[in-house]
Chains A and B, each alone.
Chain A
Amino acid sequence: MFIRFRFSFFKAERIGIRAILLLLLTGFVSLSCYSCSSKDTESTDGHRHYYNSRSRRDYRVVRFLPQWTHQTQFAGFYVALEKGIYERFGLDVIIQNGGPNAPVIPALSTGSTDFSTLFLLTAMRHNRDGKFLVNLGQISQKSSLMLAAKRERGIESIEDLNYKKIGLWHSEFRDLTNIFLQRNKLEVQVIPIDYSINLFLKGPIDAMNVMSYNELHRIYQAGIDYEELFLVRMSEQGLDIPEDGIYCTEEFFLKNKELSRDFAEATMEGWLYAINHEEEALEIVLDIMRRDHIPANRPHQRWMLQEMRDIVLAKPGVVGKLQKDSFDQAQALLLENGQLTTPIEYKRFVPNAP
């Protein structure tokens, strides 16, 4: 709910206008940075962009668009920027404002951003048409997608979900849940929902999609105790498909191979720093959220960061890389469901794979 009324502010804007503004802003920033001591500046469209105050012409300027508003789901990026990790890699990174009004695939396709985060399934599914996206790094190593149902509606097992009203996001994030519903042969009434949890809280639906690091905790923060919920974790249903990865277009990658590798490597270093310095990372992210007037709720961001730690470190010995088995599992799922018609080559999708 918090996030929603903020985002809607930008809904009317066209991507093109935003891209032009961004370019203008970048020019303005590079001209004025020598006299500017603060780490951010406000553009005419009200967006804030974070860039390195010591950026020089020989620094490689790249833009990163998170797939959602600033929050600890992307802590590694902010920490890499604030702790000078990008700078050490010779990168001058501009973190753009993400959210439901700034969909990342069009932004990558049109070139209004260089790098972005995407769910694995979303990125792979997208590759059936048009521009090809490549995975530069894999932040998430397990699925955090869940179904949360109200026990008071008599839902105590997966079978109990039959004939219930289930809210699924009307965006791309619903893929895995659909597969889950099909596999379990559940006859449910799917209600397409926005990113609000209110429909669930006020009663019209019995269950909804939640991310363990976000909506689940927001439901708790709306006064519903965990004991009141029946939870299904996709990771425990044979659908443990990792989510957030770092992507760019294949076209961009082929032109900027070293840059792309550096960006992914620096980001993962930022992630490890954030995981090992939880409070410091929390402070960095909250600071950015406050500067951007995004409702900042410390316990929620702490919960999210702690969940992200588990997600990043879920596979022993694997940090930041998309493993072949995860890729294969995701591909099999997409082929099985007809969302992908021709297989994708692993080496093409993950060009940095050893």
Chain B
Amino acid sequence: MLRRLRSKSLTYQVVAFISLFILLITVVQISVTHFLMSGVMRANASNTVSLLVNENINRIEGKLSRIQLLARNIRYSVQAGLITGEQFQLMVAAALRENPDISSLCMAYEPSIQNQPRAQVYFVRNTELVVNILNPEEYPYEDWYQIPIMSGEQRWSEPWYDRAGSQTLISSYSIPIISNGRYIGILRLDTQLSKLQQMISTDSRQQIGKMLLLTNNGTFVSSQIDSLVMNYGIFSLAEEYNDEELRKIGQDMIYGRSGVQKLGGKHMFEDYWITYAPLKSNGWSLAVLMSERTIFRDLNLLTLIQGIASAIAFLLLAVILLLRIRHINKPLSALTAAVERVGSGDFDTVIPHSSDFYELQMLTNSFETMRDSLSDYIENLRKTTEEKNRIMTEVLFASTIQRNLIPRNVSTNQFHDCLRIHGILEPAGDIGGDLYDYFAIDDNTFCFAIADVVGKGIVAAMTMTMVSTHIRAKGASFQTPQELAADLNNFLCSNNIESNFVTIILGFIDLKSGRLSYTNAGHVPLFIRKANNQYQKLAETHSTALGVFPNLKIGGSSLQLDPTDEIILVTDGITESMSSSENFFGIERLEETIAKLQNPNPETTAKAILSAARKFSNPDKQYDDITILVIEFSHPKH
């Protein structure tokens, strides 16, 4: 799992990061190019379309104006009375033969004019001129006749089917004939709609767009969408797709305006650009529809090719990167495996030198150095740890011995039932430099001691052990505690290697009389608690601490104990207990504690003092051993 994750991290991340970055750059570059180019393409397309529209308009206009010119010439001849009867027929035949754009020609007079026949249409069939007479019940109501005769203007008609003439869809140019200031008839020249459609459809084959020819009514005369031609107009299309915008464009077109606009709507011309302009002669409109897709077809193709090429390059790059990183990764994997073995403690593992890469070689060397250093270090550590463990065992052993030197607390009275005693010793470390001890020197004399070796650790403990052993051994040899203390001082001075000095209170109690004699060598004052909750503080010291000056003269004091008096002894571990605000517990607080004691016995007294000191002090700051010894003189020996 770990191996997999790491291999994924390195190979995958490098490949992914580089690929992603290049992808980003490529996408940005292609997008910017596309954006800039699309503007250019649109402008170019717009120009091309405008040219196309104008070119087609000019071509159609050329054809229409030739017809118009011919019509005016014929009318002139007719009005001027230059030609009549057969001459007219000959002129018509010549005009039709010479102008293939003109499919038929018609002369129609007002029904009220007494001219026979009133209306005739001429067209060429199989090189023969055919003349048909029009029905006087019908022609006066036909658009080609009625509109120009009423308006007195020359007009191009909407496309219509000429059954009497060429029998095709035609558009007619009608021009009124004037005689004596009256419109007496219409001269009509027809052109086949297919001729106009062909002119458009030739250009429609170009890929530029769809060309539409719209009549004055907005009907599609020519469109690349066959289903629209003559069926639909721009307005019906707009209505079918509910496209108000298209209707507005249609109105623009039939009112002879030109413009360029993008189409919305949900019809077949959605997203098309429409460019339209009017045909001045007949008021029709020519439009080119170009889809955005067509405008941008080449650009989109280019972008696609660019995209595909980039994608291929991109894939190749990723593969090459992957292979290369795997190649680099191979020795790294071997190195990793070796380092893992070293990590698990196999310092004999050979670090493989299998790579040609400088960095990897350096790494391998570093790992070798690390492996060797680690090996040495761990060997040293092992030895040191062994040594430490041995010492610790010995210290613990010493601590046990030391603890065993201290008398055990018993709840009953001892020493001929005269005394109740309770002691507490709590070393700050494994072994301590404090001591309390008590024992019977003889049947009548009880000896007690509380001491504090200045200093800590093994030396202090050893010194303490020496003190304890010396008191026990020599206690019986002296009549007074001061003599014992002087002897102890001399012993310490001669045997104390580190010159550790000892503060001590040594005391003898005559069990029969209740007489207490004691000596205080530089130790914390002792207290005698009396039965009525009074207490005595005995602060006098009889000498300096022991073990400093040899042959010291040591004094002593004595006093009479009353039954139930308690002798309270503590070390400076109590008085120098430190609070969080770095204040000492002090003698005063000790006195307060003693003063507050209720129904005491040695055990409660000792525990009350310990608890008061504990409550006061910060438990993290117990640097010194704490020792309390309380001896109650219950009653004299009987």
- Which residues of A come within 8 Å of B, CB atoms? 1-2, 4-6, 8-9, 11-12, 170, 191-194, 196, 198-199, 201-205, 220-223, 295-300
Contacts and interface: CB of A to CB of B under 8 A. Distances in A.
Contacts of A199: 143, 146-147, 150
B269 interface: no
B147 to A, nearest CB: 5
Contacts of A220: 235, 239
A201 B251 CA distance: 13
A193 B235 contact: no
Contact of B158 (A1, A9, A11, A194): A1
B498 interface: no
B230 A2 contact: yes
Nearest to A4: B160
Contact of B146 (A1, A9, A193, A300): A193
B472 interface: no
Interface in B497-524: none
Given A191-B150, A199-B146, A201-B216, A5 B160 contact: yes
Contacts of A170: 141
A12 B232 CA distance: 28
Contacts of B164: 12
Given A202-B147, A223-B251, A11 B217 contact: no
Nearest to B152: A204
Nearest to B159: A5
A214 to B, nearest CB: 14
A223 B250 contact: yes
Interface in B144-165: 146-147, 150-151, 155, 157-164
- Among B163, B240, B247, chain A packs the most CB atoms within 10 A around the CB of B163
Contacts of A300: 236
B233 interface: yes
Contacts of B157: 198
14 contacts: A4-B143, A5-B169, A8-B162, A11-B135, A194-B138, A198-B157, A201-B217, A204-B151, A221-B235, A222-B254, A223-B217, A299-B236, A299-B240, A300-B236
A298 B235 CA distance: 12
Nearest to A100: B138
A222 B235 contact: yes
Given A1-B219, A8-B163, A204-B147, 20 more contacts: A1-B217, A4-B143, A11-B138, A11-B163, A191-B150, A193-B141, A198-B143, A198-B147, A199-B143, A199-B146, A199-B150, A204-B146, A205-B150, A221-B218, A222-B217, A222-B235, A223-B234, A223-B247, A297-B232, A298-B236
A201 B215 CA distance: 12
A171 B600 CA distance: 142
B597 to A, nearest CB: 111
Interface of B: 135, 138, 141-143, 146-147, 150-151, 155, 157-164, 169, 216-219, 230-236, 239-240, 247, 250-251, 254
A220 B216 CA distance: 13
Q: Which 8 A-B pairs have the closest CB atoms?
A: A5-B161, A204-B150, A194-B141, A5-B160, A222-B217, A299-B239, A299-B240, A221-B235
B141 A9 contact: no
Contacts of B251: 223
Contact of B163 (A12, A221, A298): A12
A210 to B, nearest CB: 15
Given A4-B160, A6-B161, A199-B146, A222 B218 contact: yes
B160 A221 contact: no
Contact of B142 (A2, A194, A299): A194
A221 B235 CA distance: 5
A223 B141 CA distance: 23
B231 A297 contact: yes
Contacts of B142: 194, 196
B235 A198 contact: no
A6 B231 CA distance: 12
Contacts of A193: 141, 146
Given A223-B250, A297-B232, A8 B161 contact: yes
A192 B230 CA distance: 26
A275 B127 CA distance: 55
A341 to B, nearest CB: 26
A202 B236 contact: no
Contacts of B240: 298-299
Given A4-B160, A9-B161, A203 B151 contact: yes
Nearest to B147: A202
Contacts of A5: 159-161, 169
A120 B32 CA distance: 72
A201 B233 CA distance: 15
A191 B146 CA distance: 10
B141 to A, nearest CB: 4
Nearest to B217: A222
A192 B236 contact: no
B160 A8 contact: yes
Contact of A221 (B135, B151, B162, B233): B233
Contacts of B163: 8-9, 11-12
Nearest to A202: B147
Contacts of B230: 2, 295
A102 to B, nearest CB: 15
Contacts of A204: 146-147, 150-151
A225 to B, nearest CB: 8
A234 B239 CA distance: 27
A2 B218 CA distance: 12
- Among B218, B231, B234, chain A packs the most CB atoms within 10 A around the CB of B231
A223 B235 contact: yes
Contacts of B155: 202
B250 A297 contact: no
Given A198-B147, A199-B146, A297 B160 contact: no
B218 A223 contact: yes
Contacts of B236: 221, 297-300
Contacts of B217: 1, 198, 201, 221-223
A101 B155 CA distance: 27
A205 B142 CA distance: 14
B134 to A, nearest CB: 11
B535 to A, nearest CB: 118
A294 to B, nearest CB: 9
Contacts of A223: 217-218, 234-235, 247, 250-251, 254
A192 B233 contact: no
A300 to B, nearest CB: 6
Contacts of B247: 223
Nearest to A5: B161
Contacts of A8: 160-163
B131 to A, nearest CB: 15
A332 to B, nearest CB: 31
B108 to A, nearest CB: 15
B235 A196 contact: no
A202 B254 contact: no
Nearest to B150: A204
A201 B236 CA distance: 16
A255 B236 CA distance: 46
B149 to A, nearest CB: 9
A161 B147 CA distance: 21
Nearest to B254: A223
Nearest to B240: A299
Nearest to B241: A299
B596 to A, nearest CB: 108
A198 B158 contact: yes
A8 B147 CA distance: 18
B151 A202 contact: yes
A221 B158 CA distance: 15
Given A5-B159, A8-B163, A221 B147 contact: no
Contacts of A1: 143, 158, 160, 217, 219
A245 B425 CA distance: 131
A28 to B, nearest CB: 26
B406 to A, nearest CB: 114
Contacts of A222: 217-218, 233, 235, 254
